[in-house]
Amino acid sequence: MRQRLISFVICFSLFVAGVRVSAGDSISAKAYLLMDAATGKVLAAKNETQRLPIASTTKIMTALLALEQPNVKERFCVDADAIRVEGSSMGLLPGDEVSLYDLAGGMLSASGNDAANAAAVRIGGDLSSFAQMMNDRAASLSMEDTHFVTPSGLHDDEHYSTVKDLALLAREALQNPMFRSLCSQSHVTLYYGNPPYYRTLMNHNRLLSSYEGCIGVKTGYTKTAGRCLVSAAERDGVTLICVTLSAPNDWEDHKTLLDRGFRASEPVTKEVDVSDVQIPVVGGTQQTITVRAASTLTACLSETEWQEIVREIECPPFLYAPVQKGDYIGDAVYTYRGNVIGRIPLIAASNTAYHEESPSFFDKILQFLKAHIRIPIG
């Protein structure tokens, strides 16, 4: 009886502490990782920092950089040399007119190596310069075990990443609305060619049609890398990111990991208290104004983890009167272990009218003289 009690206490303590999801021995991948997208919390992992070839999951970075450029829908003629590349293709031909948006769509659906090369040359001038841009962006995301050589993911011994780094990259990419839209469509319609015309490409990601709530992200395969897959799914306000590398049974691996993750992830919603925030008001009937949160904060965190949340107020140093109740003032930004988990709009909690100051005695004398005394001119 005592042994059972001790076992129960241990299990309960582990549950409260928020331990990782058990994946068991059923996962075929050499390396895998399951992450809560909102908090960046790792729910399950194996060999999470082992450097491995990543095949076409590379195109997550290439597509993201393409979509972060200005004028992404501006049309240009593809570089004829760049599109002469082996492997999967979106069907580009010399002389084709295309946009970076179309190329990103071609990468995220048909996994076009031609699209990746064309985008790289357009943005970086040449493949090696673009690879440096990829590595700089990786460094900015703390992808410490990643090195890019090609924009497409064709094998190179110095081209590698980890499941942890790919999860960080997917988390960033999904915050880009165009990237999120393109990678979540089972079929995407793009406009390119010579002359351009509309054509529809099928996404290689089977999970988009076979797993409830799937919103992307990217498949990959080379003989050396094996089957690689980065996926993301949403259910009941929870978004999970799953990465597998060298996974013979990747589709089932992802379904298993995502299912276990959703079962273990119960979002908690809390009211946002910003009663301590007061903004000075210039020229108002009140010297300061209080704010209130326009929404609540939801995250998959234990009570202990909630205590680690850090709040930062992003509001102007002062406001000019008048201020109306409900006016947008700024944001309360909540982070968990360096990851932004919520940006809550802050609105004015009351009205503050413009304060018209009474004229001084001297001003009143001047007003009287101007009104009653005519001073001859000339």
Do residues 298 and 265 touch, judged by C-beta distance below 8 A? no
Report DSSP state, residue 326: T
Do residues 138 and 164 touch, judged by C-beta distance below 8 A? no
Do residues 98 and 195 touch, judged by C-beta distance below 8 A? no
**Alpha-carbon distance 111 to 105, whole Å?**
9
From 246, 233, 124, 251, select the one nearest 183 (Cα to Cα): 233
Question: Token pair of 162, please?
Answer: 């980890």
Torsion angle (degrees, nearest 10) of CA 260, 261, 267, 268: 90
**Alpha-carbon distance 172 to 106, whole Å?**
20
b/e per residue, 102-133, with b = 16+ CB within 10 A? bbbbbbbbbbbbbbbbbbbbbbbeebeebbeb
Q: Is 196 exposed, middle or buried (0-12, 13-18, 19+ CB in 10 A)?
A: middle
Report the pLDDT value the prediction gives residue 302, as an integer from 0 to 100.
85
**Alpha-carbon distance 4 to 10, whole Å?**
10
Report the pLDDT value the prediction gives residue 23, as an integer from 0 to 100.
58
Report DSSP state, residue 73: T
Report the pLDDT value the prediction gives residue 243, as an integer from 0 to 100.
98
List Cβ neighbours of 267 (8 Å cut-off, separation of 6 or more): 236, 237, 238, 298, 299, 300
**Alpha-carbon distance 37 to 317, whole Å?**
32
Which active-site residues does the annotation give? 56, 59, 111
Do residues 316 and 277 touch, judged by C-beta distance below 8 A? no
Beta bridge partners of 282: 320
- The pTM assigned to this predicted structure is 0.80
Question: Token pair of 368, please?
Answer: 């009287």
Give the residue ranges of DSSP H helices in the chain.
Answer: 2-17, 59-67, 100-108, 113-124, 127-140, 163-173, 177-183, 207-210, 250-264, 303-306, 361-372
Report the pLDDT value the prediction gives residue 7, as an integer from 0 to 100.
42
**Alpha-carbon distance 67 to 107, whole Å?**
12
Domain extent listing, the chain = 19-264, 271-348
- Is there a shared CATH topology between the 19-264 domain and the 271-348 domain? no
> Using alpha carbons only, what angle is made at residue 61 by residues 60 and 62, rounded to the nearest 5 degrees?
95
From 105, 100, 158, 90, select the one nearest 128 (Cα to Cα): 158
Per-residue pLDDT of the chain (378 residues; tens, 9 = 90+): 444 444 433 343 433 344 456 555 689 999 999 999 999 999 999 999 999 999 999 999 999 999 999 999 999 999 999 999 999 999 999 999 999 999 999 999 999 999 999 999 999 999 999 999 999 999 999 999 999 999 999 999 999 999 999 999 999 999 999 999 999 999 999 999 999 999 999 999 999 999 999 999 999 999 999 999 999 999 988 999 999 999 999 999 999 999 999 998 888 899 999 999 999 999 888 999 999 999 999 888 888 889 999 999 999 999 999 999 999 999 999 998 888 888 999 999 999 998 766 566 666 566 666 666 665 544
From 169, 143, 145, 148, select the one nearest 159 (Cα to Cα): 148
**Alpha-carbon distance 51 to 131, whole Å?**
18
The CATH architecture one would assign to domain 271-348 is: Sandwich (2.60)
The answer on whether 218 is annotated among ligand-binding residues is: yes
Q: How is domain 19-264 classified at the CATH fold level?
A: Beta-lactamase (3.40.710)
Question: Token pair of 310, please?
Answer: 């850090």
Question: Token pair of 329, please?
Answer: 């003032």
CA–centroid distance for 84 within its chain:
32
Q: φ, ψ for residue 149 (rounded to 5)?
A: -120, -40
**Alpha-carbon distance 255 to 36, whole Å?**
15
Strands 278-282, 319-320: parallel, antiparallel or unpaired by DSSP? parallel
List Cβ neighbours of 81 (8 Å cut-off, separation of 6 or more): none
> Using alpha carbons only, what angle is made at residue 313 by residues 310 and 315, rounded to the nearest 5 degrees?
170
